[in-house]
Amino acid sequence: MGTSEAGFVILGNISIGSDHRPLYHTNGIFKELPPALQESAFIDRIHGLLEGWFMPRVTKHTPSRRLGFKGDFFSEILHELRTDLRYSDYVSHSMHLPQCEDMRDNKAIARIAEGYLKLLFPDLEVADEEFVDYCVNPAVRMRQQVRDELAKLDPEYQWVTIKSERPDEFQELHSDGKPVEATEAPEIDPLSPERAPLETTIDIAEGQKGVSYLKLFGPYLRGANTVKLVDPYIRYDYQIHNLVNFCECLVGAEGTTRLELITSAGSREAEVELSAKLDEVRSSLEQDRIEMSYDFDPSLHDRWIESDTEWRIGLGRGLDMFQKPEGRFSLGFVDQTKRACKATTISYHHIAK
């Protein structure tokens, strides 16, 4: 049991598909939360969802060149407005939701609408139509997103469509029926001639066994001549061993396979030390017709694999997806399938060259 006074729950690094939408858009994006937080009673208490994937990336042109309030001063203004009851009174008397039966939905929309009112109309000089268009409807959208996710996550929550007295395009186009769930990710099976690569997402549970790089990546890298691995955490000895295990998936392609590794070392001194180890790996791979090159990028964060077989594989944790073996003589020290995994997600996307 714990408590929090946070105003925001920020879920970062959501797996995004080629359409720039979350991979779990059909089955529920809250599947990206840690298992302990995938509780519908907790999620129901989140008032609204703001879709970050629709927001533009921050660039050097993002900061305003005009005058504005300093952040701490603006925060102090908002803090003072929290105790001003005029805004909540205005919302309670002016907001009408003819299609919203759930009290928690009503409360969430009222809270969000009150926030928009303070931001956009702090003087309360607002017409009825403006209040609905700029405060209520955006609040309905934010709460509707949460209700949709709850219906995908827990059968207890029925699929509902919330509408204001002046429904906007989002409300009019919202489906009256729950979307058909996407086909669940296939189980990880040993490689076989019948297995073909396909676009999918695989969730690996905490402690799961039976997983190996060959099973995960083999079908997608089979026959690859060029492979790019981006993983900022190829630093410690066990992570370098992971790299060597990964290279075993490349052996067998016709001709020479080129492996480009982009990683990070943390400092210039660490780069020198790591370079010596990677040079040793590169030398050992040559006898198996694998030409490895490497480079360091201190700004790395994402982890992925891309090959000239036209597949891109998103790696939630990078190659570091296995728990530490109990000892050198325990099962799993050599055979990856005997080792317990860390919870992670692997996504596969076909890319056109």
Task: Record the tokens describing residue 262, joined without a space.
Answer: 């982009």
Instruction: Please report, for the chain, the start and end positions of each structural domain, with discontinuous segments joined by +.
Output: 29-58+66-173, 200-350
Please state, in angstroms and rounded to a whole number, the distance separating the CA atoms of residues 334 and 330.
9
- The CA R_g of the chain, rounded to the nearest whole Å, is 25
Annotate 116-155 with b (16+ C-beta within 10 A) or e (fewer): bbbeebeeeebeeeebbebbbbbbbbbbbbbbbbbbbbee
DSSP state of 297: -
One of 3.20.20.330, 3.20.20.105, 3.30.870.30, 3.40.50.1820 is the CATH number of 200-350, namely 3.30.870.30
What number is the average pLDDT over the span 298-303? 88
What number is the average pLDDT over the span 84-106? 94
Give Cα 236 to chain centroid, integer Å.
26
pTM: 0.51
Query: Does 230 have pLDDT greater than 50?
Result: yes
Residue 190 has a pLDDT of 39
Residue 156 has a pLDDT of 87
Q: Is-contact 322 304, C-beta < 8 A? A: no
Please state, in angstroms and rounded to a whole number, the distance separating the CA atoms of residues 49 and 145.
6
* pLDDT, tens only, 184-208: 444 445 344 456 788 888 888 888 8
Task: Record the tokens describing residue 344, joined without a space.
Answer: 């992670």
* pLDDT, tens only, 101-147: 899 999 999 999 999 999 999 999 999 999 999 999 999 999 999 99
Q: What is the dihedral of CA 192, 193, 199, 200, to 10 degrees?
A: -20
Residue 200 has a pLDDT of 85
Kindly give, in sequence order, each residue whose CB lies less than 8 Å from that of residue 136, ignoring residues fewer than 6 positions away.
95, 97, 109, 113, 164, 166
Kindly give, in sequence order, each residue whose CB lies less than 8 Å from that of residue 143, ignoring residues fewer than 6 positions away.
47, 48, 105, 108, 109, 112, 162
